[in-house]
Amino acid sequence: MNELADAENERERKYYLEKFSLYDEVLKNATLDNFETPTEKEAEKLAFARRICREWSEGARNNIVLQGEAGTGKSHLAFAMVKALSEYTKEIAIFINVTDLLMKIKADFSQEEFLVNKIASAKFLVLDDLGMEKDSEWSFTILYNILNKRSNTIITTNLISADIQKRYGRPFMSRLMKGVDKDHLMVFNDLTNKRKQYF
Q: In degrees rounded to 5, what are phi and psi of residue 94? A: -135, 140
HEC secondary structure over 120-172: HHCCEEEEEEECCCCCCHHHHHHHHHHHHCCCCEEEEECCCHHHHHHHHCHHH
pLDDT in tens, 122-141: 999 999 999 999 989 999 99
- For residues 130 and 167, the answer to whether their CB atoms sit within 8 Å is no
What percent of the chain is modeled with pLDDT above 90?
88
pLDDT tens string 43-72: 999 999 999 999 999 999 999 999 999 888
Which domains, from first to last, does the chain contain? Answer: 2-22+34-187 (3.40.50.300)
